[in-house]
A and B are shown apart, each in its own frame.
Chain A
């Protein structure tokens, strides 16, 4: 039997998984299909650097086809509905793609419209266009009140807004505007970061850089005329420039198929990566409700485990030993040419080392070599 394995979404996890399966399963064992809506593979961690003019959009995008093994069939098109009872995916052009095994790697969408006043009042770097626009705003900024924060949890790349605030502090110093700028960092919870050890690491750094920390700030609305951001807790903060990570939601196809929770995240077993209640469907990456960072790193390690599980399943071997343990490895830029590193899993919280230049250059190097070592599954 030739198993039809369909991977919905050509991001980090979907692409890596497809390539590993193409190498490990023979053509008479499996046909591997990646469905992707636009065919462009974007290196989203690079968007952090666009507002500072330290990166170009061209460096951060490659055609998905160029990253896929020749044996993987890339189907470009918009999936509109997943029908588990019939083992197929309905496409916007009226066609249907059948599957024996389905992997949902549909990622996360941003939902700025969920915050009243966002479009008129706030900026972010969670898309190429928004990050480039923020670059223009920063270049025009002449000092005043700069507010950086997070509208809602979860969001992609959890350290990114902290990295942004450290980098923008350095940027303002270089432009001679630091003395004329008050910087405030907003956090929805009662500390700077969700993971306590990381919070303990960054809180003194924020203080050292003169960045005020406002906790328990859950954005309710933005008043773009009065230039105020207002929280559910009743706090109002004035701004001249507001950089707010927008709320995130699961992909439309997940919500429209009734496979997500209230925010559209897919209920997924955190060890087996099976979608709960659907033994032939798996989910990886930002799309899941697994309590781990929505990050390329988590998607990467999940895809590796899932490739082992799917190969074992098709070969009739036990899958049980292949378990995702919550592993994540990422960097945290702290500005001024330094970074720290976060390595953790479900059982072991990160112990961030002191910031140094080595981790900063390692991150920059990784940003460049990503294309050659990650999508093909070599690391």
Chain B
């Protein structure tokens, strides 16, 4: 995780479902193909919504990394 280069970070902590998912979607729209985006979410619903959206959108789900009180979701834009 520490080696991963993050091109854009969005802190969506404190925002409720579907806020973090929508922030991630906006983030994916705004970065270039090949770039990596990280969204911080404290909403438990994100554990289900965010990986499901990444799969549907056929982007690359790098991983979900639990931290104290929130999770870092990392996605790479591949197309």
Q: Which residues of A are interface residues toward B (Cβ below 8 A)? A: 153, 188-190, 194, 196, 216, 218, 220, 232-234, 262, 291
Contacts and interface: CB of A to CB of B under 8 A. Distances in A.
Contact of A189 (B15, B21, B26, B29): B21
Contacts of B25: 188, 218, 232
B18 A189 contact: yes
B58 to A, nearest CB: 6
22 contacts: A153-B22, A188-B22, A188-B25, A189-B21, A189-B49, A190-B49, A190-B52, A190-B53, A194-B18, A216-B52, A216-B53, A216-B57, A218-B25, A220-B29, A232-B25, A232-B57, A233-B57, A234-B57, A234-B58, A291-B15, A291-B16, A291-B19
A232 B53 CA distance: 11
Contacts of B74: none
B75 interface: no
The B interface, classified by DSSP as helix, strand, loop or mixed, is helix
Given A216-B53, A233-B58, A291-B15, 15 more contacts: A153-B22, A188-B22, A189-B49, A190-B52, A196-B17, A218-B25, A220-B29, A232-B25, A232-B28, A232-B57, A233-B53, A233-B56, A233-B57, A262-B26, A291-B16
Interface residues of B, number: 17
Interface of B: 15-19, 21-22, 25-26, 28-29, 49, 52-53, 56-58
Nearest to B25: A218
A153 B19 CA distance: 9
B10 to A, nearest CB: 10
Contact of B56 (A196, A216, A291): A216
A262 B27 CA distance: 11
Contacts of B28: 232
B28 to A, nearest CB: 7
A30 to B, nearest CB: 34
A189 B22 CA distance: 8
B18 A153 contact: yes
Contacts of A233: 53, 56-58
Contacts of A234: 57-58
A153 B53 CA distance: 15
A229 to B, nearest CB: 16
Nearest to A234: B58
A291 B13 CA distance: 13
